[in-house]
Structure 1
Amino acid sequence: MNRSNLLIIIVVGAMVGLLSCIYIVDEREKALVLRFGRVVNVKEEPGLAFKLPLVDQVVTYEDRILSLEVGPLEITPSDDRRLIVDAFARYRIADVETFRQAVGGVGVSAGEQRLDNIMRDQTREILGTVSSNDILSSDRAALMLRIRNGAIAQARGLGLEVIDVRLKRTDLPQANLEATFARMRAEREREAADEIARGEEAAQRVRAQADRTEVELVSEAEREAEVIRGEADAERNGIFAEAYGADTEFFEFYRSLNAYSNALQPGNSSMVLSPDSEFFNYLKSATGNGQ
């Protein structure tokens, strides 16, 4: 082997050795340097760092905010109405060394499983102290804050920081849902029946008032009509009396014509009268006096 080849081998070996001493930490990550399984260094700032080759091992963890979906969870609020709750949490690995000690070499999945258990316990504990109406209402920020605060202390032991908790879905189980719908339907039907009854009562009052007003108006109108009719009759009789006093013969002629009009109506086909009856005086003579 000549000197040039030996030099190349030495340079390549030096480069490999140098590269094995260097590792890069991304800005989205944190790194732990393990020596025989024991943490010897924590690298949280992005950039280049050095380690012992063949001895040290570098393990990286996410430094970004992560999401954890908490699957459907059945809870029993204080009013014993069971609910199905879905939630999710936002968290980050705040202390990678504590997280490594808590979960070992299994990784993030083990930490998420333990955080999921914490979230389930806190959700059951907090929501079990309030009524279902509080949980189903749109104003649940205080409940979510209590769940987050309760999970923070327990998650800190895992090296995790719980940033936010949200309740996504809060529904009744299917059997309870149908029973609730039936109860709501019965309540609405009862309210409708009450409204109908109140409406009928109001209609009866309106009808009674209208009938009473009608009777009063008709009675008043009939009274006024009788008064007017009496006044008209009196005025007519006065005119007749004045006319009779002015021309006795004309008045008798007028009365005879009225008698003929009333007697000779359609249907009055026959009349039995004496031939010398005074009824037809104005029909038997030109002067109307029977001569």
Structure 2
Amino acid sequence: MSRALIGAVVLAAALLVASSTLFTVHQTQQVLITQFGEPIRVIREPGLHYKLPFIQSVIAFDRRLLDYDAPGEEVILGDQRRLIVDSFTRYRITNPLEFYQTVGATEAGIRARLNSIVQSSLRRVLGNEPLLSVLSTDRTRIMGTIRNQVNEEARRFGIEVTDVRIRRADLPEENTQAILSRMQSERERVAREARAEGAEVAVRVRAGADRERTVLLAEGQASADILRGQGEQEAIRIFADAFQRDPAFFQFWRSMQAYRDAFGEGETRLLLSPDSEFFRYFRGTSQIGQPGAVAPAPPAAPAAAPAPARTSD
């Protein structure tokens, strides 16, 4: 065998031993060294490290914050109401040795343990709280209590639980329909009360408006009657003053009015003699407007003669 071949074999063996001896720890990881399955030491510092080749193994664990989404579970609250709670948990591996010894080398082992712990804590804490507390600002206090309980129980697995949150809380389907029916009935009752109160207010306003209208009409009618009486009084006074100033002209004017009424449109027939007092102003007007002349009394309109009766042939 040539020296070159021997050198190549030695170099390959050296590289194989070096690759089995040296390893790198990432800054997001922490490493547990095991020898024949038994844990030897924990390495948390990032960088280049070594181990015994072929007999020691490296198991890496994530040191970042990890999430676990728990499936929805039905929980009975303190007021005996049922609620389907969907939660999630955030945790961090703080002790790789304890984690390896209790749940194994992978994260799958801790998920079943966390699910049991979280569900038990949810049932225990929410079983003492009413629905209004879960849906109000007390939810922060409730979740803090659940987180502390879960963290206390999960420490034995080498993890630290930093947060437990309820992602969604729904009522069961049958409860949802019943609550929706009650809400609808309540809204309808409130609507009926609002309509009844509105109708009462409308009747009261309408009655007040009718009463005010009646009062205004009565006051207006009274004012109109007073003004009409005052106007008629003033007209009579003016009429009397005018009659006293020129009685002859007044008598003439009254006669003209009587002529207008008597000879107006219509089928009325008058039977009068030519020398009737009714036609005195047609015979002469020498006394009208003379000083000191006294006009005769105004002629009264003669009664209408009845129309001749028709005789049948």
On whether the aligned pair clears a TM of 0.5, the verdict is yes
Indicate the residue corresponding to 1:198 in structure 2. Answer: 197
SS in structure 1 of the partner of residue 70 of structure 2 = strand
Indicate the residue corresponding to 1:55 in structure 2. Answer: 55
Alignment root-mean-square deviation, CA: 2.9
Deviation at 1:161, TM superposition (A): 1.1
Change in Cα spacing, 1:264 to 1:195, as seen in structure 2 (3 Å) is farther
- 1:257-272 matched pairs, under 5 angstroms: 269-270=267-268
Structure with bigger gyration radius: 2
Deviations 1:255-289 (A, max 9, x none): 455556667777x6446x77479894568655596
Q: Is the 8 A contact 1:90 1:162 kept in 2?
A: yes
Question: 1: CA distance between counterparts of 2:40 and 2:229?
Answer: 126
Deviation at 1:201, TM superposition (A): 1.6
Share of identical aligned residues, percent? 36
Indicate the residue corresponding to 1:243 in structure 2. Answer: 242
Change in Cα spacing, 1:243 to 1:179, as seen in structure 2 (3 Å) is same
TM-score (norm 1): 0.84
- 1:1-80 matched pairs, under 5 angstroms: 1-2=1-2, 4-80=4-80
Deviations 1:135-186 (A, max 9, x none): 2347733333222222111111111111222222222222222222222222
- Does residue 164 of structure 1 match 2:193? no
Q: Is the 8 A contact 1:25 1:47 kept in 2?
A: yes
Question: 1: CA distance between counterparts of 2:81 and 2:108?
Answer: 33
Q: Is the 8 A contact 1:34 1:57 kept in 2?
A: yes
For structure 2, the 5+ residue unaligned runs are 286-294, 300-313
For structure 1, the 5+ residue unaligned runs are none
Deviation at 1:225, TM superposition (A): 0.9
Change in Cα spacing, 1:261 to 1:49, as seen in structure 2 (3 Å) is farther
Change in Cα spacing, 1:253 to 1:124, as seen in structure 2 (3 Å) is farther
Q: Is the 8 A contact 1:253 1:282 kept in 2?
A: no
Change in Cα spacing, 1:254 to 1:119, as seen in structure 2 (3 Å) is farther
Indicate the residue corresponding to 1:92 in structure 2. Answer: 92
Residue 234 of structure 2 aligns to which amino acid in structure 1? E
Question: 2: CA distance between counterparts of 1:83 and 1:260?
Answer: 105
Residue 89 of structure 1 aligns to which amino acid in structure 2? T
Indicate the residue corresponding to 1:234 in structure 2. Answer: 233
Which is worse superposed, 48-57 or 137-146? 137-146
Report the number of matched residues.
287
Question: 2: CA distance between counterparts of 1:165 and 1:262?
Answer: 109
TM-score (norm 2): 0.79
Question: 2: CA distance between counterparts of 1:28 and 1:236?
Answer: 115
Question: 1: CA distance between counterparts of 2:132 and 2:283?
Answer: 107
Q: Is the 8 A contact 1:93 1:161 kept in 2?
A: yes
Which is worse superposed, 212-221 or 12-21? 12-21
- Does residue 119 of structure 1 match 2:118? yes
Residue 129 of structure 1 aligns to which amino acid in structure 2? N
SS in structure 2 of the partner of residue 71 of structure 1 = coil
